[in-house]
Chains A and B, each alone.
Chain A
Amino acid sequence: MILRKSLTCLMAFVVLIILAGVVNPVAAQTQKSAPSQKQATYACPMHPNVKSRKPGKCPKCGMTLRLVSDSETPALTEQQPKTPEEKPATEKLSIPDLEVLDQDGRKLHFYTDLVKDRIVAINFIFTTCTTICPPLTATFARVQKDLGERAGRDVQMISISVDPTTDTPERLKAWSEKFHAAPGWTFVTGAKPVINDLLRALGAATASPQDHSPMVLIGNDARGEWTRTYGLAPPRQILQLINNATETGSQ
């Protein structure tokens, strides 16, 4: 009897803990986001959930926090209504016109052949990666599918290898087929120094392929506006950013 009673207590306690576990983060999120709706905040470019009222460094990666308003981190706040006036945090990038190879071994000039006057979405992968690259690529594949006819016609998708020494065009080709990549999605490799320069220009340089970040870079070259997001975010959020880039382009 005593055992039974204490077990019931225990069960009730467990239910409480579970409830607390589920409810708490939601409560915390609303607390955080509600008052900040109209104020500008500083967020880490790589960890959008790291936010601060004042400038500083990200405690996770040490990057300098960037001035944003809440709506400018759509990856985390998709439930918030987006008003057309609020544009995502963008930056200017100078894209070098380096000679690279695509998955068919064709020589391309990165800027003129892939970026110039286009809406572009870029992610960073390597084919011997078994951890984050499959979900990153799967996410991109879904984005491409959802883009429908616009993929290739209006929007150029690019995956750049962060391990060009290993990633020959043949390996990239096999990788692209695994994820049923359609035309309009170019996999890029090339000479290591060239790809290093390219990654540096895009802010995606890494000392070791294993340390590369799951980042997606979305840009509108005509406007020279680029924005970064988390590559493992739900595909519709990435799609939304691509749509935003398209809209700003047509304005």
Chain B
Amino acid sequence: MRVHTLILIVVSCAAALCVSSVESSSQQKPDAAPAPDSRPLTAAERRGRALYLRGETSDKRDLTAMVGDLEVPASTINCAGCHGRRGEGKTEGGVAAGNLTWSNLTKPYGHTHPNGRKHGPFNESSFTTAIVRGVDPSGNNLAVAMPRYRMSIEEMNDLLAYIKRLEFDRDPGMTADSIDVGVPLPTNPALAETGQAIRQALSAYFDDLNTHGGIYNRKIKVHFTEPGTTDLAVALRNLTTQNQIFAFIGGISAGADKQIATLARENEIPFIGPATLLPSVEHPPNRYIFYLLPGVSEQAVALTNFADQQLGLKKQHAAVLFPNTELSSTSAEATLARAKEIAWNDVVKISYAAGSFDAEKLAQQLKAENTAAVFLFGSNAEIDSFLLAANALNWTPYVFSLGVLVSRDLATNLPPAFSKKVFLAFPTVPADVTENGVAEFRTLAEKYKLPAQHAAAQLAALAAAKTFVEGLKRAGADLSREQLVTALEGLYEFETAWTPKLSFGPNRRVGAAGAYITTIDAETKQFISASGWVAAN
């Protein structure tokens, strides 16, 4: 009997606590939801959180869940999977998972479930019984899909600690009236001026947004990495320890792509629009990373698609030439992989040490092999010399490369026979910046005195900011990182007005996955469009 009285006291205390916290917050803001408890999670709550979200114990052991008489690792059947990351509950396939927030579980008048099952309020002891033995406070069996979990008393205490905190636990870097974002600036001192331009553009964009009310009453606060740090991943990590960061946006991530992707995945921090030529594509896809523009892989795939679909070269002999540098070999591998996918089988792979390109010899060899398409991912000088050597042999195959590898000189020196036979992939074209985009940038630049230089870097950063803001709008006022990620994954042909249209999805991490294909008119020495946007799939 004393035990029961005690439980009653505990329950009423818990209820009173919940009520008092609701009251105190409602005094501050009459119409707002209960203010998120901003106190950092205790060690026990953090352990409980890992159990709740991932079924993972503090020593990274997998808990065991029992589904009927099956033993399943709790990592595949964790609390959050069915009951939601915030314990709100959900229904799927006719299986209704209840609301697990402590204030709901301990409602003094108990619960009546849709199937007629009724029980009184939960307390610590009956909660434990439910998790371990699968019965509710009135002794009824829980729903068939609810597993029972084997865990120690300590683990149960951790879980309980977190369950009580669940409804107040919010992602770091957001409050009812603010969202903190981090921006990586280039670490290379040579790019300091570009970094400064990006900094000014993003500060201006968010200041303008904030003066117009922010997003659902939240003002965006921007934090930039320290320019002095040499390692970008370290700089970002420092930023997250000094400030609570909700998401990262924009900036130039080149050189630190893998580390940044890992940082985003491990800390579950969304990263929108890091600018790089080597997007880090992981399997399974890293759902926290959203690249806006194509890297060299996507461009090389688009180039291959163009050669197949618009020039009909698939049945002919092709060669993929590349020096052993990261950019070039990544492009070549992407081309080779795509060729294989589309059954372009007669393709040879020729790699060479950077700087040891023998144009004459290769031209003779490839001509002798009757090569119709040459993918040459070398330097501008190498492509130039190859074209001259082929021209000297009166041989004019189609030549494919990437805009990022060449310079204007290529057009100036182009032999007339190669007019409109050299094709280059570009991630963007000037026409991507729409009239509205021009006007929007001009207004911002005038209002905030933005530098006239580094417009491309500014626009890339602004496009990332705009995509992030679109994600925030779609995620709604009841914001979380998960909702932001899900909202961004739902973007389809989103127009930033400064980039090609962006589409994301669970398997699509590059918004504009494809390229524009450009060719060179030898007569006018101009780059002209060979095709519109070519998708990389």
Which A residues fall within an 8 A CB radius of B? 4, 7, 11, 17-18, 21-22, 46, 128-132, 134-135, 138-139, 141-142, 165-166, 168, 170-171, 174, 178-179, 210-214, 232, 234-235
A131 touches B82 (CB 8 A): yes
A130 touches B82 (CB 8 A): yes
A241–chain B nearest beta-carbon distance, Å = 16
Whether a CB of chain A sits under 8 angstroms from the CB of B204 is: no
When distances are taken between beta carbons in the complex, the residues of chain A under 8 Å from B82 are 130-131
When distances are taken between beta carbons in the complex, the residues of chain A under 8 Å from B92 are 129, 131-132, 210-211
8 Å CB contact of A211 from B68, B93, B507: B93
8 Å CB contact of A170 from B80, B145, B284: B284
What is the bound-complex CA distance between A228 and B76, given in angstroms? 26
Whether a CB of chain A sits under 8 angstroms from the CB of B70 is: yes
- Assuming the A-B contacts A132-B92, A132-B95, are A141 and B70 also in contact, with contact meaning beta carbons closer than 8 angstroms in the complex? yes
0/1 per residue, B107-146, Cβ < 8 Å to A?
0000000000010000000000000000000111000110
Find the A residue at minimum CB distance from B147.
A135
A132 touches B93 (CB 8 A): yes
When distances are taken between beta carbons in the complex, the residues of chain A under 8 Å from B507 are 166, 168, 171
When distances are taken between beta carbons in the complex, the residues of chain A under 8 Å from B237 are none
A138 touches B72 (CB 8 A): yes
- Assuming the A-B contacts A165-B505, A171-B284, A174-B284, are A134 and B72 also in contact, with contact meaning beta carbons closer than 8 angstroms in the complex? yes
A143–chain B nearest beta-carbon distance, Å = 10
- Assuming the A-B contacts A138-B72, A170-B284, are A21 and B138 also in contact, with contact meaning beta carbons closer than 8 angstroms in the complex? yes
A131 touches B97 (CB 8 A): yes
- Assuming the A-B contacts A18-B138, A174-B284, are A138 and B70 also in contact, with contact meaning beta carbons closer than 8 angstroms in the complex? yes
Give the interface SS of chain B, mostly helix, strand, loop or mixed: loop
B93 touches A214 (CB 8 A): yes
- Assuming the A-B contacts A131-B82, A232-B145, are A212 and B93 also in contact, with contact meaning beta carbons closer than 8 angstroms in the complex? yes
A232 touches B283 (CB 8 A): no
B81 touches A235 (CB 8 A): no
Find the A residue at minimum CB distance from B92.
A131
- Assuming the A-B contacts A21-B140, A211-B93, are A139 and B68 also in contact, with contact meaning beta carbons closer than 8 angstroms in the complex? yes
B76 touches A235 (CB 8 A): no
B93 touches A213 (CB 8 A): yes
Find the A residue at minimum CB distance from B68.
A234
B127–chain A nearest beta-carbon distance, Å = 17
A47–chain B nearest beta-carbon distance, Å = 8
Whether a CB of chain A sits under 8 angstroms from the CB of B67 is: yes
8 Å CB contact of A179 from B69, B76, B139: B76
When distances are taken between beta carbons in the complex, the residues of chain A under 8 Å from B72 are 134-135, 138, 179
- Assuming the A-B contacts A142-B70, A171-B284, are A134 and B139 also in contact, with contact meaning beta carbons closer than 8 angstroms in the complex? no
A206–chain B nearest beta-carbon distance, Å = 9
Pick 27 A–B contacts, CB within 8 A, sort by A: A18-B138, A18-B139, A21-B140, A129-B92, A130-B78, A130-B80, A131-B95, A131-B97, A132-B95, A132-B145, A135-B67, A135-B145, A138-B67, A138-B77, A166-B506, A170-B284, A171-B507, A179-B72, A179-B76, A211-B93, A212-B93, A213-B94, A232-B95, A232-B144, A232-B145, A234-B68, A234-B69
A131 touches B76 (CB 8 A): no
A235 touches B93 (CB 8 A): no
